[in-house]
Structure 1
């Protein structure tokens, strides 16, 4: 029987339950028969993969490789993924450098094909590194099958923390947020931005994100979310707003404001 995340409640109460049981649920997921089988296969075979062609030709290996970077939907786009891998990342003309979703660049960097040197697949610890990332994201998918908002919240805690503590300029960090569909969704919901927001000029979007974040969290810098308290406030605000959007439209604006304020104080 496949693993199923335990998410008995929705809303912020459900999120509190999930975070309280997170480590035990992750352990149960990692120990599930399918995960153990995939881990054994990946560890036994990935070191022998020396080309992008070889990787995309092995469905099970490619599933783990793409899943580790949140690119599961590209499993059938083998020609495209092979091109991303074979181009590497060192050239400005490399395909991954031209794509707004930097998950492709991260994938290409991780495997190291197309760089004129042996790929990273044979390095000690490589299999564990990739499979650990795969397990993390697959667990999030399992949670998302029960509650997609919780999946987004888990993703933002992992992905945004890395961006916030990174060495990019603040503009670069915001562009990384804006280029990630899950992170953008969390921020747009938490900051109360309309669906039409993404049609604005990119520089106007950047300034709006910065201004709204300043109002909501006290700073317009992405770096603030390296602070666990700021991260928790972002996640809480996102979940409360997402929950309200799913509720009856009969709520008055006053009731919505009171709910948000109550969540902010709790």
Structure 2
């Protein structure tokens, strides 16, 4: 990958899109992870207004520390970057008092995890509307188009996706070029939706390099019969997530009414 040229291409794409949309810049939710760090840095390089927002909900301390380190570095490097912090913990806790928490614990936990992401999306769009900004998504290609590892209308609810054509290894390469803090570069990827330090790999059962491999094999038309051992396990994991999360990765189904019924 021609890293510098890719970075310039994304920055110019962001700038052109924002100018054509008649907005002032971008708002990005920062989590202390590589994807949001790279996305917010690319947005900052446009020279347009950038608002980065930290939105903790019972967040693991390590995530908070990395997010704050990144925000401080970004503001030091770019005069066009501002930040704000919206603690959504009391909002989330109040929400839980108003809904039923009955059901299998794993199901309840997942529903609440997705609720965290949707509360953050609501916050981002509030500030976007207030300041005439676009919500920049932070999803990469493996998450957005491979395993669907995002929340529908949560972190998947965005105006544009700057890094969604880059797999995770390419995002890391871009992160190094963009001088993302070392603590973020070395941290295990995590969605931070459960209030603890569990990683994406803990949840999925495969690492991003493995998922990139499986995505490539699937694109080449390979099947389970082509693999054995760990490769077979990873390929099955990828196909299971890809299938079950397909509804996130395709346009919303529309029931088209036949002309003769109108």
TM-score (norm 1): 0.26
State the TM-score, normalized to the length of structure 2: 0.26
Higher strand proportion (structure 1 or 2): 2
